[in-house]
Structure 1
Amino acid sequence: MRRTTFISGASSGIGEGMARVLAEKGGHLALAARRTDRLDALQAELLAAHPGIEVSVHALDVNDHDRVFEVVGEAATEHGGLDRVIVNAGLGKGGRIGTGRFAANLETAQTNVLGALAQCEAAMEHFYERKTGHLVLISSMSAMRGMPSSMTTYAATKAAVAHLAEGIRMDLIGRKGLDIKVTTLYPGYIASEMNEGVDQEAKLMVDTETGSRALVGKIEAEVAEACVPTLPWAPLAPVMKHAPLGLVKRLV
Protein backbone atom coordinates (compact mmCIF):
# COMPACT_ATOMS: atom_id res chain seq x y z
CA MET A 1 0.00 0.00 0.00
CA ARG A 2 1.30 3.44 -0.93
CA ARG A 3 0.33 5.42 2.13
CA THR A 4 2.48 8.59 2.11
CA THR A 5 1.83 11.06 -0.70
CA PHE A 6 3.61 14.30 -1.59
CA ILE A 7 1.41 16.83 -3.41
CA SER A 8 2.67 20.08 -4.92
CA GLY A 9 0.24 22.92 -5.46
CA ALA A 10 -1.75 21.64 -2.49
CA SER A 11 -3.04 24.99 -1.24
CA SER A 12 -6.05 25.17 -3.58
CA GLY A 13 -8.01 23.50 -6.36
CA ILE A 14 -7.51 19.83 -7.13
CA GLY A 15 -4.29 19.70 -5.10
CA GLU A 16 -6.23 20.62 -1.98
CA GLY A 17 -9.12 18.40 -3.09
CA MET A 18 -6.93 15.33 -3.58
CA ALA A 19 -5.34 15.93 -0.17
CA ARG A 20 -8.78 15.85 1.47
CA VAL A 21 -9.75 12.62 -0.30
CA LEU A 22 -6.46 10.87 0.51
CA ALA A 23 -6.67 11.98 4.16
CA GLU A 24 -10.20 10.60 4.36
CA LYS A 25 -8.76 7.27 3.19
CA GLY A 26 -6.16 7.30 5.97
CA GLY A 27 -3.19 8.47 3.92
CA HIS A 28 -0.24 10.44 5.25
CA LEU A 29 0.48 13.66 3.39
CA ALA A 30 3.34 16.02 2.60
CA LEU A 31 1.72 19.19 1.28
CA ALA A 32 3.75 21.76 -0.64
CA ALA A 33 2.83 25.17 -2.06
CA ARG A 34 3.81 28.82 -2.00
CA ARG A 35 0.88 29.88 0.21
CA THR A 36 1.82 28.28 3.50
CA ASP A 37 -0.96 30.05 5.40
CA ARG A 38 -3.48 28.03 3.42
CA LEU A 39 -1.43 24.86 3.88
CA ASP A 40 -1.35 25.44 7.64
CA ALA A 41 -5.13 25.78 7.71
CA LEU A 42 -5.55 22.64 5.61
CA GLN A 43 -3.14 20.73 7.84
CA ALA A 44 -5.10 21.70 10.95
CA GLU A 45 -8.39 20.73 9.29
CA LEU A 46 -7.15 17.32 8.16
CA LEU A 47 -5.49 16.42 11.45
CA ALA A 48 -8.63 17.37 13.37
CA ALA A 49 -10.86 15.31 11.06
CA HIS A 50 -8.50 12.32 10.79
CA PRO A 51 -6.38 12.03 13.97
CA GLY A 52 -4.55 8.90 12.84
CA ILE A 53 -2.76 10.49 9.88
CA GLU A 54 0.43 12.53 9.54
CA VAL A 55 0.43 15.80 7.60
CA SER A 56 3.52 17.91 6.98
CA VAL A 57 3.62 21.34 5.34
CA HIS A 58 6.40 22.64 3.08
CA ALA A 59 6.91 26.07 1.54
CA LEU A 60 7.70 25.55 -2.14
CA ASP A 61 7.87 27.56 -5.33
CA VAL A 62 8.55 24.94 -8.00
CA ASN A 63 10.48 27.54 -10.00
CA ASP A 64 13.15 27.39 -7.29
CA HIS A 65 14.60 24.13 -8.56
CA ASP A 66 17.15 23.66 -5.79
CA ARG A 67 14.35 24.07 -3.29
CA VAL A 68 12.32 21.36 -5.04
CA PHE A 69 15.05 18.83 -4.30
CA GLU A 70 15.40 20.11 -0.73
CA VAL A 71 11.66 19.88 -0.03
CA VAL A 72 11.27 16.39 -1.45
CA GLY A 73 14.23 15.32 0.70
CA GLU A 74 12.82 17.01 3.79
CA ALA A 75 9.41 15.41 3.30
CA ALA A 76 10.97 11.99 2.74
CA THR A 77 13.01 12.31 5.92
CA GLU A 78 10.07 13.53 7.98
CA HIS A 79 7.79 10.69 6.85
CA GLY A 80 10.38 7.93 6.60
CA GLY A 81 10.07 7.88 2.82
CA LEU A 82 7.56 8.92 0.17
CA ASP A 83 5.38 6.32 -1.52
CA ARG A 84 3.87 8.67 -4.09
CA VAL A 85 4.61 12.09 -5.57
CA ILE A 86 1.86 14.02 -7.35
CA VAL A 87 3.28 16.67 -9.68
CA ASN A 88 0.34 19.05 -9.60
CA ALA A 89 1.58 22.63 -9.20
CA GLY A 90 0.95 24.73 -12.28
CA LEU A 91 -0.21 27.99 -13.80
CA GLY A 92 -2.82 28.83 -16.40
CA LYS A 93 -1.73 32.38 -17.27
CA GLY A 94 -1.26 33.39 -20.86
CA GLY A 95 -2.41 35.23 -23.94
CA ARG A 96 -2.72 34.74 -27.66
CA ILE A 97 0.74 34.44 -29.16
CA GLY A 98 1.95 37.73 -30.60
CA THR A 99 -0.24 40.02 -28.47
CA GLY A 100 2.33 41.19 -25.95
CA ARG A 101 1.66 38.55 -23.30
CA PHE A 102 5.08 36.93 -23.50
CA ALA A 103 5.80 37.45 -19.79
CA ALA A 104 2.66 35.56 -18.76
CA ASN A 105 3.27 32.81 -21.31
CA LEU A 106 6.88 32.47 -20.17
CA GLU A 107 5.87 32.20 -16.51
CA THR A 108 3.40 29.44 -17.35
CA ALA A 109 5.96 27.58 -19.46
CA GLN A 110 8.63 27.76 -16.79
CA THR A 111 6.32 26.70 -13.97
CA ASN A 112 4.48 23.92 -15.77
CA VAL A 113 7.42 22.39 -17.66
CA LEU A 114 10.65 23.15 -15.80
CA GLY A 115 8.93 22.98 -12.41
CA ALA A 116 7.48 19.59 -13.33
CA LEU A 117 10.87 18.39 -14.57
CA ALA A 118 12.52 19.32 -11.28
CA GLN A 119 9.83 17.49 -9.31
CA CYS A 120 10.16 14.39 -11.50
CA GLU A 121 13.94 14.37 -11.10
CA ALA A 122 13.69 14.67 -7.31
CA ALA A 123 10.91 12.09 -7.03
CA MET A 124 12.55 9.51 -9.29
CA GLU A 125 15.90 9.82 -7.51
CA HIS A 126 14.06 8.97 -4.30
CA PHE A 127 12.11 6.12 -5.88
CA TYR A 128 15.16 4.60 -7.56
CA GLU A 129 16.92 4.65 -4.20
CA ARG A 130 13.99 2.90 -2.51
CA LYS A 131 13.22 0.71 -5.56
CA THR A 132 9.56 1.58 -5.17
CA GLY A 133 7.24 4.51 -5.67
CA HIS A 134 4.44 6.03 -7.73
CA LEU A 135 4.94 9.17 -9.80
CA VAL A 136 1.76 10.98 -10.86
CA LEU A 137 1.75 13.87 -13.32
CA ILE A 138 -1.28 16.09 -13.79
CA SER A 139 -1.56 16.99 -17.45
CA SER A 140 -4.80 18.27 -19.01
CA MET A 141 -7.34 17.41 -21.69
CA SER A 142 -5.94 20.47 -23.47
CA ALA A 143 -2.77 18.43 -24.08
CA MET A 144 -4.62 16.41 -26.70
CA ARG A 145 -4.24 19.16 -29.30
CA GLY A 146 -2.86 22.64 -29.79
CA MET A 147 -5.27 25.14 -28.27
CA PRO A 148 -6.20 28.68 -29.35
CA SER A 149 -5.81 32.10 -27.76
CA SER A 150 -4.95 32.26 -24.05
CA MET A 151 -4.74 28.45 -23.85
CA THR A 152 -1.98 28.02 -26.45
CA THR A 153 1.01 28.02 -24.11
CA TYR A 154 -0.83 26.20 -21.33
CA ALA A 155 -1.84 23.37 -23.66
CA ALA A 156 1.71 23.08 -24.99
CA THR A 157 3.08 22.79 -21.45
CA LYS A 158 0.60 20.06 -20.58
CA ALA A 159 1.55 18.13 -23.71
CA ALA A 160 5.17 18.40 -22.55
CA VAL A 161 4.19 17.06 -19.12
CA ALA A 162 2.46 14.08 -20.73
CA HIS A 163 5.50 13.27 -22.87
CA LEU A 164 7.79 13.65 -19.87
CA ALA A 165 5.71 11.07 -18.00
CA GLU A 166 5.68 8.71 -20.96
CA GLY A 167 9.44 8.88 -21.31
CA ILE A 168 9.95 8.08 -17.63
CA ARG A 169 7.48 5.21 -17.92
CA MET A 170 9.36 3.87 -20.94
CA ASP A 171 12.64 3.95 -18.98
CA LEU A 172 11.12 1.53 -16.47
CA ILE A 173 10.22 -1.15 -19.02
CA GLY A 174 12.21 -4.32 -18.42
CA ARG A 175 13.95 -3.04 -15.31
CA LYS A 176 13.73 -5.86 -12.82
CA GLY A 177 13.51 -5.37 -9.08
CA LEU A 178 11.70 -2.04 -9.29
CA ASP A 179 8.14 -1.42 -8.13
CA ILE A 180 7.85 2.05 -9.67
CA LYS A 181 4.73 3.18 -11.52
CA VAL A 182 4.08 6.33 -13.54
CA THR A 183 0.58 7.75 -14.04
CA THR A 184 -0.47 10.56 -16.38
CA LEU A 185 -3.87 12.14 -15.71
CA TYR A 186 -5.74 14.36 -18.14
CA PRO A 187 -8.36 16.31 -16.18
CA GLY A 188 -11.22 17.93 -18.02
CA TYR A 189 -12.89 20.97 -16.50
CA ILE A 190 -12.77 20.67 -12.71
CA ALA A 191 -13.70 23.72 -10.66
CA SER A 192 -10.64 25.52 -9.28
CA GLU A 193 -9.11 28.99 -9.00
CA MET A 194 -7.40 28.44 -12.35
CA ASN A 195 -10.67 28.18 -14.28
CA GLU A 196 -13.12 30.10 -12.12
CA GLY A 197 -13.97 32.39 -15.06
CA VAL A 198 -15.07 29.50 -17.27
CA ASP A 199 -18.76 28.99 -18.03
CA GLN A 200 -19.40 25.87 -15.96
CA GLU A 201 -22.42 24.56 -17.87
CA ALA A 202 -20.92 25.18 -21.31
CA LYS A 203 -17.66 23.46 -20.42
CA LEU A 204 -19.09 20.36 -18.67
CA MET A 205 -17.39 21.36 -15.46
CA VAL A 206 -17.63 19.25 -12.30
CA ASP A 207 -17.12 20.53 -8.78
CA THR A 208 -13.76 20.21 -7.06
CA GLU A 209 -14.76 17.34 -4.79
CA THR A 210 -16.20 15.23 -7.62
CA GLY A 211 -13.15 15.85 -9.77
CA SER A 212 -10.72 15.17 -6.94
CA ARG A 213 -12.39 11.87 -6.07
CA ALA A 214 -12.22 10.81 -9.70
CA LEU A 215 -8.52 11.71 -9.83
CA VAL A 216 -7.72 9.80 -6.64
CA GLY A 217 -9.60 6.78 -7.95
CA LYS A 218 -7.35 6.64 -11.01
CA ILE A 219 -4.26 7.32 -8.90
CA GLU A 220 -4.99 4.47 -6.52
CA ALA A 221 -5.61 2.15 -9.47
CA GLU A 222 -2.12 3.14 -10.71
CA VAL A 223 -3.30 3.35 -14.31
CA ALA A 224 -0.76 4.45 -16.90
CA GLU A 225 -3.04 7.14 -18.36
CA ALA A 226 -6.60 8.33 -17.84
CA CYS A 227 -8.95 11.13 -18.80
CA VAL A 228 -10.76 12.40 -15.69
CA PRO A 229 -13.69 12.26 -15.15
CA THR A 230 -14.03 9.34 -17.55
CA LEU A 231 -17.29 10.74 -18.93
CA PRO A 232 -17.39 12.74 -21.09
CA TRP A 233 -13.63 13.16 -21.50
CA ALA A 234 -12.44 9.65 -22.45
CA PRO A 235 -14.77 9.48 -25.49
CA LEU A 236 -13.88 13.08 -26.41
CA ALA A 237 -10.12 12.44 -26.38
CA PRO A 238 -9.91 10.84 -29.86
CA VAL A 239 -12.21 13.54 -31.22
CA MET A 240 -9.95 16.24 -29.85
CA LYS A 241 -6.87 14.49 -31.27
CA HIS A 242 -8.14 13.89 -34.79
CA ALA A 243 -11.01 16.26 -35.58
CA PRO A 244 -10.45 19.29 -37.86
CA LEU A 245 -9.05 22.29 -36.04
CA GLY A 246 -12.22 24.30 -36.60
CA LEU A 247 -14.31 21.70 -34.79
CA VAL A 248 -11.81 21.43 -31.91
CA LYS A 249 -11.87 25.20 -31.52
CA ARG A 250 -15.66 25.11 -31.10
CA LEU A 251 -15.36 22.35 -28.51
CA VAL A 252 -12.98 24.31 -26.30
Structure 2
Amino acid sequence: MNIMIIGGTSGIGWALAEHYLRDGHNVMVCGRDLQRLTSDHHYPMLSCTQLDIADNVALAKAIEVFAEESLDLLIVSAGFYFNDRHQTLDAATTLRMLQTNVSGLNTAFELAAEHMLSKKNGHLVAISSVAGLLKDYPGASLYSACKRSVLSLCETYRIALAPFSIAVTAIVPGYVDTEKLRQLNDGDASHKPFILTEEKAVEYIVDAIHRRLAISIFPWQMRWLIKLFNYLPSQLLRLRK
Protein backbone atom coordinates (compact mmCIF):
# COMPACT_ATOMS: atom_id res chain seq x y z
CA MET A 1 0.00 0.00 0.00
CA ASN A 2 0.91 3.64 -0.42
CA ILE A 3 0.31 5.21 2.98
CA MET A 4 0.46 8.87 3.98
CA ILE A 5 0.62 9.80 7.67
CA ILE A 6 0.10 13.44 8.61
CA GLY A 7 1.47 14.14 12.06
CA GLY A 8 3.74 11.14 11.78
CA THR A 9 7.03 12.42 13.15
CA SER A 10 6.43 11.25 16.72
CA GLY A 11 4.05 9.41 19.03
CA ILE A 12 1.31 7.23 17.59
CA GLY A 13 1.87 8.58 14.07
CA TRP A 14 5.49 7.47 13.93
CA ALA A 15 4.72 4.17 15.67
CA LEU A 16 2.19 3.44 12.93
CA ALA A 17 4.68 4.48 10.26
CA GLU A 18 7.28 2.05 11.58
CA HIS A 19 4.71 -0.75 11.71
CA TYR A 20 3.73 -0.32 8.07
CA LEU A 21 7.33 0.18 6.95
CA ARG A 22 8.35 -3.09 8.60
CA ASP A 23 5.52 -4.74 6.67
CA GLY A 24 7.00 -3.45 3.41
CA HIS A 25 4.56 -0.64 2.62
CA ASN A 26 5.45 2.67 1.00
CA VAL A 27 5.00 5.37 3.66
CA MET A 28 5.21 9.14 3.49
CA VAL A 29 5.49 10.83 6.90
CA CYS A 30 4.46 14.48 7.16
CA GLY A 31 5.03 16.83 10.06
CA ARG A 32 6.10 20.30 11.11
CA ASP A 33 9.45 19.19 12.53
CA LEU A 34 11.24 16.38 10.71
CA GLN A 35 14.12 16.58 13.20
CA ARG A 36 11.87 14.73 15.64
CA LEU A 37 12.50 11.59 13.62
CA THR A 38 15.24 10.06 15.73
CA SER A 39 14.91 6.41 14.73
CA ASP A 40 18.17 4.56 14.12
CA HIS A 41 16.46 2.46 11.47
CA HIS A 42 16.75 3.25 7.78
CA TYR A 43 13.68 2.41 5.72
CA PRO A 44 14.04 2.45 1.93
CA MET A 45 10.25 2.78 1.58
CA LEU A 46 10.08 5.89 3.78
CA SER A 47 9.76 9.44 2.46
CA CYS A 48 9.36 12.56 4.58
CA THR A 49 7.74 15.93 3.92
CA GLN A 50 7.77 18.95 6.18
CA LEU A 51 4.39 20.59 6.38
CA ASP A 52 1.82 22.04 8.74
CA ILE A 53 -1.67 20.57 8.36
CA ALA A 54 -3.00 24.11 8.79
CA ASP A 55 -1.17 25.16 5.60
CA ASN A 56 -3.67 24.31 2.88
CA VAL A 57 -1.28 25.03 0.02
CA ALA A 58 1.50 22.81 1.36
CA LEU A 59 -1.02 20.11 2.25
CA ALA A 60 -2.52 20.09 -1.24
CA LYS A 61 0.92 19.92 -2.86
CA ALA A 62 2.08 17.02 -0.67
CA ILE A 63 -1.06 14.97 -1.33
CA GLU A 64 -0.91 15.74 -5.04
CA VAL A 65 2.70 14.55 -5.31
CA PHE A 66 2.22 11.41 -3.24
CA ALA A 67 -1.06 10.48 -4.91
CA GLU A 68 0.42 10.62 -8.44
CA GLU A 69 1.02 6.90 -8.19
CA SER A 70 -1.62 5.97 -5.67
CA LEU A 71 -2.93 6.96 -2.26
CA ASP A 72 -4.38 3.89 -0.59
CA LEU A 73 -4.45 4.96 3.04
CA LEU A 74 -4.37 8.40 4.68
CA ILE A 75 -3.89 8.58 8.44
CA VAL A 76 -4.28 11.97 10.11
CA SER A 77 -2.60 11.89 13.50
CA ALA A 78 -1.83 15.60 13.73
CA GLY A 79 -3.34 17.32 16.73
CA PHE A 80 -2.90 20.32 18.99
CA TYR A 81 -3.66 20.17 22.72
CA PHE A 82 -4.15 23.03 25.15
CA ASN A 83 -5.52 22.62 28.68
CA ASP A 84 -8.03 25.45 28.74
CA ARG A 85 -9.49 24.23 32.01
CA HIS A 86 -6.33 25.44 33.77
CA GLN A 87 -5.06 28.13 31.39
CA THR A 88 -6.73 30.94 29.51
CA LEU A 89 -7.06 30.53 25.76
CA ASP A 90 -5.92 33.50 23.72
CA ALA A 91 -7.05 34.21 20.16
CA ALA A 92 -3.94 32.77 18.52
CA THR A 93 -4.10 29.49 20.45
CA THR A 94 -7.83 29.15 19.81
CA LEU A 95 -7.29 29.60 16.08
CA ARG A 96 -4.40 27.12 16.17
CA MET A 97 -6.57 24.46 17.79
CA LEU A 98 -9.34 24.93 15.24
CA GLN A 99 -6.99 24.93 12.25
CA THR A 100 -5.08 21.83 13.35
CA ASN A 101 -7.80 19.70 14.91
CA VAL A 102 -10.79 20.54 12.71
CA SER A 103 -10.28 22.48 9.48
CA GLY A 104 -6.90 20.89 8.72
CA LEU A 105 -8.39 17.42 9.06
CA ASN A 106 -11.34 18.34 6.86
CA THR A 107 -9.05 19.72 4.16
CA ALA A 108 -6.82 16.63 4.25
CA PHE A 109 -9.82 14.32 3.94
CA GLU A 110 -11.32 16.38 1.11
CA LEU A 111 -8.08 16.43 -0.90
CA ALA A 112 -7.39 12.71 -0.37
CA ALA A 113 -10.98 11.77 -1.18
CA GLU A 114 -10.70 13.57 -4.51
CA HIS A 115 -7.91 11.20 -5.56
CA MET A 116 -9.53 8.10 -4.07
CA LEU A 117 -12.86 8.78 -5.78
CA SER A 118 -11.22 8.59 -9.19
CA LYS A 119 -10.21 4.99 -8.41
CA LYS A 120 -13.18 4.18 -6.18
CA ASN A 121 -10.89 2.74 -3.56
CA GLY A 122 -9.07 3.94 -0.46
CA HIS A 123 -9.21 4.47 3.27
CA LEU A 124 -9.28 7.62 5.40
CA VAL A 125 -8.35 7.43 9.09
CA ALA A 126 -8.37 10.09 11.80
CA ILE A 127 -6.97 9.82 15.31
CA SER A 128 -9.45 11.35 17.73
CA SER A 129 -9.61 10.86 21.52
CA VAL A 130 -12.00 9.61 24.17
CA ALA A 131 -12.28 13.30 25.06
CA GLY A 132 -14.49 13.51 21.97
CA LEU A 133 -16.97 11.12 23.60
CA LEU A 134 -17.58 13.52 26.48
CA LYS A 135 -20.90 15.29 26.23
CA ASP A 136 -20.96 19.06 26.18
CA TYR A 137 -21.30 20.53 29.66
CA PRO A 138 -20.60 23.80 31.48
CA GLY A 139 -16.85 24.34 31.47
CA ALA A 140 -16.18 21.69 28.81
CA SER A 141 -12.89 22.20 27.02
CA LEU A 142 -12.38 23.37 23.46
CA TYR A 143 -10.15 20.32 22.98
CA SER A 144 -13.09 18.00 23.72
CA ALA A 145 -15.27 19.97 21.32
CA CYS A 146 -12.62 19.66 18.61
CA LYS A 147 -12.41 15.91 19.10
CA ARG A 148 -16.20 15.64 18.89
CA SER A 149 -15.91 17.44 15.56
CA VAL A 150 -13.38 14.83 14.39
CA LEU A 151 -15.90 12.07 15.09
CA SER A 152 -18.63 14.00 13.28
CA LEU A 153 -16.38 14.63 10.26
CA CYS A 154 -15.47 10.96 10.06
CA GLU A 155 -19.12 9.94 10.12
CA THR A 156 -19.99 12.46 7.41
CA TYR A 157 -17.19 11.31 5.11
CA ARG A 158 -17.97 7.65 5.81
CA ILE A 159 -21.59 8.08 4.71
CA ALA A 160 -20.59 10.14 1.66
CA LEU A 161 -17.81 7.82 0.46
CA ALA A 162 -19.21 4.39 1.30
CA PRO A 163 -20.95 4.02 -2.11
CA PHE A 164 -17.53 4.42 -3.75
CA SER A 165 -15.77 1.68 -1.73
CA ILE A 166 -13.81 4.20 0.35
CA ALA A 167 -13.67 3.41 4.05
CA VAL A 168 -13.43 5.98 6.83
CA THR A 169 -12.29 5.03 10.33
CA ALA A 170 -12.31 7.12 13.49
CA ILE A 171 -9.72 5.96 16.03
CA VAL A 172 -10.67 6.88 19.59
CA PRO A 173 -7.90 5.98 22.04
CA GLY A 174 -7.73 6.56 25.76
CA TYR A 175 -4.41 7.49 27.35
CA VAL A 176 -1.36 6.29 25.41
CA ASP A 177 2.10 6.50 26.98
CA THR A 178 3.66 8.80 24.38
CA GLU A 179 6.49 11.26 24.88
CA LYS A 180 4.00 14.13 24.53
CA LEU A 181 1.75 12.78 27.29
CA ARG A 182 4.75 12.34 29.57
CA GLN A 183 5.83 15.93 28.89
CA LEU A 184 2.36 17.14 29.88
CA ASN A 185 2.64 15.18 33.14
CA ASP A 186 6.09 16.19 34.36
CA GLY A 187 7.78 13.22 32.71
CA ASP A 188 5.56 10.45 34.09
CA ALA A 189 2.06 9.55 32.87
CA SER A 190 1.83 6.18 34.61
CA HIS A 191 -0.91 7.49 36.93
CA LYS A 192 -3.33 7.93 34.02
CA PRO A 193 -6.22 5.44 34.13
CA PHE A 194 -5.93 2.39 31.87
CA ILE A 195 -2.91 3.85 30.07
CA LEU A 196 -1.63 1.85 27.08
CA THR A 197 1.82 1.49 25.58
CA GLU A 198 2.35 2.83 22.06
CA GLU A 199 2.83 -0.77 20.87
CA LYS A 200 -0.56 -1.84 22.23
CA ALA A 201 -2.28 1.20 20.77
CA VAL A 202 -0.78 0.41 17.36
CA GLU A 203 -2.18 -3.12 17.60
CA TYR A 204 -5.68 -1.75 18.15
CA ILE A 205 -5.35 0.81 15.36
CA VAL A 206 -3.89 -1.54 12.77
CA ASP A 207 -6.62 -4.08 13.50
CA ALA A 208 -9.34 -1.42 13.08
CA ILE A 209 -7.83 -0.30 9.78
CA HIS A 210 -7.50 -3.85 8.53
CA ARG A 211 -11.15 -4.54 9.37
CA ARG A 212 -12.22 -1.17 7.91
CA LEU A 213 -14.19 -0.34 11.05
CA ALA A 214 -16.22 2.85 11.23
CA ILE A 215 -14.98 3.57 14.75
CA SER A 216 -12.58 1.96 17.20
CA ILE A 217 -12.70 2.97 20.87
CA PHE A 218 -10.09 1.53 23.21
CA PRO A 219 -9.39 0.38 25.81
CA TRP A 220 -12.87 -0.82 26.72
CA GLN A 221 -12.43 0.37 30.31
CA MET A 222 -12.10 3.99 29.18
CA ARG A 223 -15.14 3.65 26.95
CA TRP A 224 -17.29 2.66 29.93
CA LEU A 225 -15.67 5.23 32.22
CA ILE A 226 -16.64 7.99 29.79
CA LYS A 227 -20.18 6.62 29.59
CA LEU A 228 -20.46 6.75 33.37
CA PHE A 229 -19.00 10.24 33.41
CA ASN A 230 -21.59 11.42 30.91
CA TYR A 231 -24.38 10.34 33.29
CA LEU A 232 -23.22 12.77 35.97
CA PRO A 233 -25.53 15.76 36.46
CA SER A 234 -24.45 19.05 34.94
CA GLN A 235 -23.98 20.62 38.37
CA LEU A 236 -21.21 18.12 39.19
CA LEU A 237 -19.62 18.48 35.78
CA ARG A 238 -19.45 22.24 36.26
CA LEU A 239 -17.34 21.70 39.39
CA ARG A 240 -14.81 19.65 37.41
CA LYS A 241 -13.48 22.83 35.82
Q: Which residue of 1 aligns with 2:224?
A: 235
Q: State how far apart, in whole Å, the 2-side matches of 1:213 and 1:97 are.
A: 33
Question: What TM-score, normalized to structure 1?
Answer: 0.83
Root-mean-square deviation over aligned CA pairs: 2.7
By how many angstroms is 1:232 displaced?
Answer: 1.7
1:125/1:224 CA distance change after superposition, 3 Å:
same
Q: Identity rate of aligned residues, in percent?
A: 29
The Cα offsets for residues 189-247 of structure 1, whole Å up to 9 and x where unpaired, read as 01224322344223321222222222222122211111123x32333343344443567
Structure 2's unaligned 5+ residue stretches are none
Please, which of 179, 201, 223 is the counterpart of residue 165 of structure 2?
Answer: 179
| Letter matched to residue 8 of structure 2 | A
Please, which of 167, 177, 180 is the counterpart of residue 194 of structure 1?
Answer: 180
> Is the CA contact 1:22–1:216 (under 8 Å) kept in the aligned structure 2?
no
1:58/1:228 CA distance change after superposition, 3 Å:
same
By how many angstroms is 1:92 displaced?
Answer: 0.5
> Is the CA contact 2:138–2:234 (under 8 Å) kept in the aligned structure 1?
no
Q: State how far apart, in whole Å, the 1-side matches of 2:234 and 2:95 are.
A: 25
Say whether 1:106 aligns with 2:95: yes
By how many angstroms is 1:66 displaced?
Answer: 1.4
By how many angstroms is 1:60 displaced?
Answer: 1.0
1:100/1:114 CA distance change after superposition, 3 Å:
closer
By how many angstroms is 1:97 displaced?
Answer: 8.8
> Is the CA contact 1:21–1:213 (under 8 Å) kept in the aligned structure 2?
no
Q: Which residue of 2 aligns with 1:130?
A: 119
> Is the CA contact 1:94–1:101 (under 8 Å) kept in the aligned structure 2?
no
Structure 1's unaligned 5+ residue stretches are none
> Is the CA contact 1:143–1:158 (under 8 Å) kept in the aligned structure 2?
yes
> Is the CA contact 2:2–2:71 (under 8 Å) kept in the aligned structure 1?
yes
Q: Which of structure 1's runs of 4+ aligned residues deviate more than 4 A? A: 245-252
Q: State how far apart, in whole Å, the 1-side matches of 2:116 and 2:47 are.
A: 19
By how many angstroms is 1:250 displaced?
Answer: 9.4
Q: Which residue of 2 aligns with 1:13?
A: 11
The Cα offsets for residues 156-176 of structure 1, whole Å up to 9 and x where unpaired, read as 111111101101111135x3x
Question: What TM-score, normalized to structure 2?
Answer: 0.86
> Is the CA contact 1:94–1:105 (under 8 Å) kept in the aligned structure 2?
no
Q: State how far apart, in whole Å, the 2-side matches of 1:72 and 1:45 are.
A: 25
1:86/1:246 CA distance change after superposition, 3 Å:
farther
Q: State how far apart, in whole Å, the 1-side matches of 2:179 and 2:33 are.
A: 14
> Is the CA contact 1:92–1:194 (under 8 Å) kept in the aligned structure 2?
no
Equivalent residue of 1:45, what SS?
coil
| Letter matched to residue 192 of structure 1 | T
Q: Which residue of 2 aligns with 1:37?
A: 35
1:235/1:27 CA distance change after superposition, 3 Å:
farther
Equivalent residue of 1:214, what SS?
helix
Q: Which residue of 1 aligns with 2:48?
A: 57
